[in-house]
Amino acid sequence: MDMIRLTIDGKEITTREGRTILEAAREGGIDIPTLCYHEQLSPIASCRLCVVDVEGYEKPMTSCTTPAVDGLSVTSRSEGLLKMRREILNLILTAHPLDCPQCDKGGECRVQELAYEHGIEKVEYAALREDRKEGYATPLIRYWELRCVLCGRCVQGCREVSGRAAIDIKGNGFEARIAPTENGDCISCGECLSLCPVGALTEALSPVKGRVWQSERTDTACPHCGFGCRLTLNVLDGKIISKVISETNLPPNNTSLCIRGRFGYDFANHEARLTEPFQRIDGEIKKLEREAALNITVENLQRISAEGKGIGFIVSPRATNEEIFLISRIAAHFENGRVASAAAYHTGKVASAFRRMGINPGYHYETIRTCKTIIVAGADLLINNHLLANKVREAVRFNGSRVIVVDPLPSALSGIADAYLKIAPGQDALVFNALSRRLLLDGKYDKDAETLEGFVELRQSLTTADEETPPLSTGVEAAMLDKAYGLIRDEGDTGVIFASGITTSEESLAALLNFCLLKGLHKRGMIMPAALQSNAVGAVAILKELASPDELIRDSEISGLFIYEDDPFHYLNGELVKKGLSQKAFIAVCDLLPTAVMDFAGLVLPSASFAEKEGTFISGDGSVRAVKKACSGKAAGYEFLNELFSRLGGKRYSNPAEITDEIQGLGLLKEEGDAKEPGIGKARFAASGDILPQGVPPNIMMPHRVPSHAKDAHAETGKYRLILRDLFMNHHLWGHDAAASSAKCRVLSAEFFSSQSSALSPQHSVLYPPKDRLFISPEDAALLQIADGESLCIESADGAVTRPVTIKAGVKTGVLECVLGDTLRQGVPIRSEILALSLRPSKVIAVSARKV
């Protein structure tokens, strides 16, 4: 790109062509006042404060929209411009109350700063604006309409960043205000909230409001999904998290967060938090000192080990690397020690497939933007990894990228997809095999692929003449598959983002990765698995021999179980867990809130929330994110592990950073560049070196297999595939708000998202019952002669449940969708009985259904 030169206020500035005058000025260190401008957004140009004069032109112009042209001479400060700015500020303050003393934004309000800088001492004009007390698009956010200056940032952010159209400027002239649109499109991501320069949008969740001078701020990492958002906790009195904010200088999410990241933190200060260890003897609860708890643990584990029995550790994929590392060391101390984590179900499967096939994991999120075509497969990014959906949208907006969505259910991106392949559940393999077959037949594949092991067999099996393209059983229209193929056929980088919808089936994963290797995406393009939990990648990196939790629970050889911040009842078949646990001689559970699994524990230990911990996560892009202690209080779980390790003869670490260093020394977390501080650096998950066994050729094609259930699932009436959503949701988010009248916790559930397609307004949707919801297509509802709200009996090989159904347009025929909810049983969240339908944690379950 060509460089240009211009002068601003006498200073010569060199910048790239295509910049605006404002951008050039900021690069040159010249401050032009702005209010509506935000670096994460396209210029809005509503405030008119950034006006400048340009030599040779009569009128002042807004520097945020005017291109920097070579040779310009710009003046940003003059009497005339100052007068214009003061006039504008006068007008703003005419329509803005001076309630600064009680405003949340007091002290960090942009209008306050501007008025101060420009010496506005009194408001010149008067005009009365009536407070209509209009509701906002979501009950999580309060709109103070009189404080609103109508800068338009929230509206722009809603459209541009979140891809929604939940709010808009309604009304004309002085009566204009921000109002929810009719489509009820709000997902409560709070993008608008973080962009508001004044106190017009405030979160309506926290009863206490901490202002800039009252709270301490700590930058840390989000504990919810594996995208790895960085956020800033506002903490009052060293204890209470009053607000979560996100700032522009914290990549990869910058100002953005999702509903869970921004609002889902009240568990940290919850009254039900466990504070002391306790023992359960014959149903009686006995409180213990930590010392006693340690003794009991050591004694039991050593006894079991001495008996020659196994000891299982189940660690949450939301624990820090340091905690996971300690657990791995503790487990290694015992001859029959094994470690499991729910990370095994998705990230673990991906890692082993990558290892087998010689694919390097870890892509910068910025890579998404460089892809000409982005395939999003089996990943509902609205429910998990919302920011990943934003990155895809960004690529569409700024790079003109095309999107292909492969999913049986409409998802966050299916609405903007150029091709939406609405496959039958579990049939992804057929789609990717069909695409691979066409690439092979047209000779449009990466020729280097021919040298890879397994190529000849793959070509042979895919190009045999009797295969239909597209196979009828995929349920995908031929024209849509043609369109998708047209988007990936030619030159230009293709990126693939996938999640548990793919990893739920071995065939799907193999077919997808074979397609990637055929396209050469491991060399140019992107193969990006979404990470479901905040440290799933870390767990998989550190735990070399990672078992799945159900494996350890079933294994009768394992007699002792230590469960760390996890609740298997949350994602596994309850009967299976109960049966397994009842066979264990000793069960210890360490968690911060009561969980269902604690009922089976002989020993319960308190743990800490993410806000009380020090340590690291590894996010989906392989970066190390720093988890910083923001609240006082002990990192009880970590300290217990540290003490336990030393009791067993291991090292006693003086602080978690020491462990971080040790992990790094082992090459498990690899730093890149000069970034030393975790969280800022671009450290990579050391995948290739550590995971790939020596001597294995870099890339291997997997043998082509047709899914076992490659028949049309719907061929027989009453046969369905049940898709479970929210299977790996953070169990801390669930149902802890004991007061049923307050729906605030429940708004964090995916039910909220799915409500957008129903007729309910956003205000209603948070009041959904916290039970799981079952959806059926209108076509199938007609077939089964079932009406909205009537009960459906669904039966699988492993069990049966009866649930009322909701008819929802967009659900594919032959598919039942279940958004998992929970119920509170004596203050403890119990996951739905739907899990009884499968003995394995599965996203897709084959069921039959009939009206009760």
Partner 1 sequence: MTDIIFSSWQNERFDGREAAATDDKSPAKVKLAAEFGPGERIKAFMGWDGIALRDDDVDIVDMCAKYAEAVQGESCGKCFPCRVGTRIVADWLKKIAAGEGQKEYPGKIRELALSIRDGSKCGIGQTGMTPILHALQHFPQAFAAAITEQKKAGEGNYRYSVTAPCISVCPSSLDIPRYVEEISEQRFADSLATIRQAVCMAGTLGRVCIRPCESNCRRANIDEAVSIKWLKRYVADYEIEKNRHPEISGRHHNKESKKVAVIGAGPAGLSCAYYLALMGYRVTIFEKLPEPGGMAAVGIPDYRLPRAILRSEVAIVEEAGVEIRYGVEIGKDIKFADIRNDHDAVFIGVGAQGNSPMGVEGEEKNYRGFISGVQYLLDINLGRDPYPEGKKVVVVGGGNVAIDCVRSSFRIGKPDVNLVYRRSKTEMPADPVEIKDAEEEKVNFHYLCNPTKILEKDGKVVGVECIRMELGEPDQSGRRRPVPVPGSEFVIETDILIPAIGQKVDYSFLEEADGIKLSKWKTVDSDGETFVTSQAGVFASGDCVTGPDVLVRATGNGKRAAEKIDLFLTGNKVEASIEERFRTLFSTIGVYDKEEQLGVIGGLRRAHLPMLDPEERKRTFEEVEAGYNAPAAIGEAARCLRCYRIGMIALG
Contacting positions for partner 1 (CB under 8 A): 42-48, 51, 54, 57-62, 65-67, 69, 72, 84, 87-88, 91-92, 94-95, 125, 127, 149-150, 152, 156, 159-160, 165, 169, 171-177, 396-400, 415-420, 480
Return the number of the residue (81 or 626) whose C-beta is nearest partner 1: 81
Shortest Å, Cβ 373 to partner 1: 12
- Which among 434, 574, 411 is positioned nearest to 500, based on CA atoms? 411
Return the number of the residue (53 or 322) whose C-beta is nearest partner 1: 53
Return the number of the residue (169 or 680) whose C-beta is nearest partner 1: 169
Return the number of the residue (145 or 790) whose C-beta is nearest partner 1: 145
Cβ distance 68 to 6 under 8 Å?
yes
Return the number of the residue (63 or 206) whose C-beta is nearest partner 1: 63
Cβ distance 161 to 256 under 8 Å?
yes
Cβ distance 492 to 395 under 8 Å?
no
Shortest Å, Cβ 415 to partner 1: 7
Return the number of the residue (264 or 410) whose C-beta is nearest partner 1: 410
Return the number of the residue (218 or 399) whose C-beta is nearest partner 1: 399
Shortest Å, Cβ 33 to partner 1: 13
Q: Extract the tokens encoding 250.
A: 């914290």
CA dist 604 and 698 (Å) reads 46
Q: How many CB atoms lie within 10 A of CB 743?
A: 19
Return the number of the residue (296 or 416) whose C-beta is nearest partner 1: 416
Give how far Cα 376 sits from Cα of 161, 361, 516, Å. Answer: 18, 17, 13
Shortest Å, Cβ 164 to partner 1: 11
Shortest Å, Cβ 525 to partner 1: 19
Give how far Cα 87 sits from Cα of 63, 83, 119, 627, 650, Å. Answer: 18, 6, 12, 46, 70
Residues 6+ apart with CB under 8 A from 680: 626
Return the number of the residue (128 or 739) whose C-beta is nearest partner 1: 128
Shortest Å, Cβ 480 to partner 1: 7
Return the number of the residue (66 or 112) whose C-beta is nearest partner 1: 66
CA dist 643 and 650 (Å) reads 9
Residue 672 φ/ψ region, left for φ over 0, alpha for ψ in the -120 to 50 degree band, beta for the rest: beta
Shortest Å, Cβ 801 to partner 1: 35
DSSP labels for 58-105? SS-EETTTSB--TT-EEE---HHHHHHHHHHHHHHHHTS---GGG-TT
Return the number of the residue (448 or 490) whose C-beta is nearest partner 1: 490
Give how far Cα 516 sits from Cα of 179, 378, 494, Å. Answer: 44, 15, 9
Shortest Å, Cβ 35 to partner 1: 8
**Residue 40 DSSP class:** T
Return the number of the residue (178 or 531) whose C-beta is nearest partner 1: 178
Shortest Å, Cβ 190 to partner 1: 20
CA dist 205 and 25 (Å) reads 39
CA dist 162 and 215 (Å) reads 28
Shortest Å, Cβ 238 to partner 1: 41
Shortest Å, Cβ 248 to partner 1: 20
Cα 622-450-469 angle, rounded to 5 deg: 90
The residues that bridge with 377 in the sheet, in sequence order, are 406, 498
Calculated CA dihedral for residues 87, 89, 94, 99, nearest 10 degrees: -160
Shortest Å, Cβ 769 to partner 1: 32
Give how far Cα 494 sits from Cα of 338, 356, 375, 393, 818, Å. Answer: 39, 22, 7, 15, 32
Residues 6+ apart with CB under 8 A from 375: 403, 404, 405, 406, 488, 494, 495, 496, 497, 498
Return the number of the residue (116 or 398) whose C-beta is nearest partner 1: 398
Output Rg (C-alpha) for the chain, integer angstroms. 28
Q: In the β-sheet with 586-591, what is the strand arrangement from edge to edge?
A: 284-287, 278-281, 603-606, 586-591, 558-564, 310-315, 337-340, 546-547
Shortest Å, Cβ 152 to partner 1: 6
CA dist 517 and 354 (Å) reads 11
Return the number of the residue (176 or 800) whose C-beta is nearest partner 1: 176
Shortest Å, Cβ 147 to partner 1: 14
Return the number of the residue (116 or 174) whose C-beta is nearest partner 1: 174
Cα 778-782-786 angle, rounded to 5 deg: 95
Shortest Å, Cβ 112 to partner 1: 16
Which residue type sits at 549? Answer: P
Return the number of the residue (400 or 649) whose C-beta is nearest partner 1: 400
Shortest Å, Cβ 370 to partner 1: 13
CA dist 155 and 44 (Å) reads 10
Cβ distance 784 to 792 under 8 Å?
yes
Shortest Å, Cβ 4 to partner 1: 10
Return the number of the residue (56 or 207) whose C-beta is nearest partner 1: 56
CA dist 422 and 414 (Å) reads 9
Q: Are strands 419-421 and 494-498 parallel, antiparallel or unpaired?
A: unpaired
CA dihedral sign of residues 747, 749, 752, 758: negative
Shortest Å, Cβ 844 to partner 1: 24
Return the number of the residue (94 or 214) whose C-beta is nearest partner 1: 94
Residues 6+ apart with CB under 8 A from 721: 408, 424, 425, 426, 713, 814, 815, 816, 844, 845, 846, 847
**Residue 786 DSSP class:** -
CA dist 844 and 724 (Å) reads 6
